[in-house]
Chains A and B, each alone.
Chain A
């Protein structure tokens, strides 16, 4: 039952509770002014305030929202930012595999991710955390060094473990969200509607992988660094006070490209593909390599796998 609830239909489906719209419209309008005054958000438009959960919007409403967002981004960054809403492809379930025997801990993936996904640069939000672990201890997180900074990696006696959203089949973050602002798409990607999230951070407490990040301050991205190719559920610029996370680069992968972290990896440690495609590289790895999942005992059932290639 959990799986069904967590796996929501593709956005753009008609609103199931249409009769509520009138009442909502009225109530919303009534409090819009108050909320604007209370929160001191001069920028908060009535349309933004009243906007509904992405999964409840009709196709037309989605287009209106996207148009508004593109206009806002243009005003803010002084350049065209395209917001796509490409749905999940049928017959696709994305999976990721990471070769712990190859990773050297260079953190190129961390920085490529920030560049691709329009994270705040000040303070910098990073969706990938690379842990430096002791070979003697194995994968023991209590012995992980998060801020290792040697002149050269890999360091003697250590191995490296990048951790990002594990795109769980049973995501605890989705279960706990009080407003349904985060859900699992049909291709297995767990996404956030940044315009619906209330910033309670319950999902961050629930996530066993530290994969969710909060915009504690107003996210700052220099205009020249903004990646203009975005997705509504992915890398479009966020506002302060909402949670964000890795989406397997939904804006790229739904167009058949690889995630940015994979492309930049100099050691080929990162593998990505369609779990439903028997011929895919990811399936080959799962069938032929020794694979494990991080915190398997929590039964979150990640679609992110770690393996030892050599």
Chain B
């Protein structure tokens, strides 16, 4: 009974906390809500008229939505980038920021599911894909696997985050025997969500660009750069705006790990490109379309090279200790990595997979205004989820906001009321 009462107080206090804040917080939330409204409006148009308002067609049947989905699965998976050293090597400086990684994973998953929902032609039939209620084609369909692992990963992260915060709120120490196995479980789960998503493309013999054995390793390598890149910037913002203490050491350690994964990612990309371009079979056309353009169509070419160059520069910046520990070059590196992987795992993966199409036709795809608007709405939703979670979680993690200290404690400790 006490637990129940405490939990309901936890919920109401959390709700109260996320609805009160300073002007900066309100302005940010209002901005996100505005973007969400903008995206929703575009989506309503899409539902009424059909996916014809996108620029996807039979030849390029997946586009911007699925590209963003794929990239964000990587971000969600990268939460473990922080969990592995924290728990396996028992490395304290990172441990306290693991919860931030998990919240990032939750937000990324919300966006992933959003992008899948807006991509399907019949959202009213979403229940067909639910286990037991609908008819999930499991284990044959990789998409069925992906639905299961993504949702399981979402539930797992959500549970761990809620439990840890609830313990902090009720001023109790969390039960280590419960948390440690769950956090350890989240490591293979994170690998599995990205592997499943890679297999989703990988298993299609009809698309030689995707039908490569190193697709899943490439997915993981790039995800382990892009996810932490977002976190590194975020950690610096949190250090400045809240009392959360994150040691320089932790940030530099993550940056070092990112250098290795980025190097590995570039190596895998080179291995793939070499195999296709040197052997020069008919499968080469997809790489040609991506890197050099095909039959005069070269929409993707500048993006593809930008991705490679950004990745290479970031790799050097993170590899050299001097630039890794310099805040300016470190942050430039983060932005470059983010840009590089966003292109590579988004449009750079989906579009050349489908162009030229199965019968050799080249349909030049670029997202429509509707697609960009809807995507902006989904990104805003993800940012909103993350903002609200942070708003409640940071004071709880700091012990400023607990069941006995309540709102007053939090406000006294943080009079400026930043999120």
Contacts and interface: CB of A to CB of B under 8 A. Distances in A.
Contacts of A41: 47, 124
A270 B119 CA distance: 38
B121 A179 contact: no
B359 A209 contact: yes
B120 interface: yes
B133 A23 contact: yes
Interface stretch (B142-150, B151-159, B374-382): B142-150
Contacts of B144: 178
Max chain A CB contacts within 10 Å: which of B44, B120, B126, B353? Answer: B120
A36 B133 contact: no
Contacts, number: 170
Contact of A206 (B206, B282, B356): B206
Contact of B360 (A142, A196, A205, A215): A142
A276 interface: no
Contacts of A181: 128
A218 B356 contact: no
Interface string B137-175: 100111110010000000000000000000000000000
A123 to B, nearest CB: 7
A141 interface: yes
A178 B361 contact: no
The binding surface of chain B is classed by DSSP as loop
Nearest to A32: B124
Interface in A156-194: 163, 172, 175-181
A179 B135 contact: yes
Given A5-B140, A123-B52, A172-B206, A143 B360 contact: yes
Interface string B268-288: 000000000000001001000
B205 interface: yes
Interface in B32-53: 44, 47-52
B125 interface: yes
A134 interface: no
The 10 closest A-B pairs by CB, nearest first: A199-B121, A241-B121, A208-B206, A141-B360, A217-B52, A178-B143, A216-B52, A240-B50, A204-B61, A210-B358
Interface of A: 5, 20, 23-24, 27-28, 31, 35-36, 38-41, 44, 49, 52-53, 56, 123, 129, 131, 140-144, 146, 163, 172, 175-181, 196-202, 204-210, 212-218, 240-243, 298-299
Interface of B: 44, 47-52, 54, 56-59, 61-62, 116, 119-129, 132-137, 140-144, 147, 200-201, 203-207, 282, 285, 353-354, 356-361
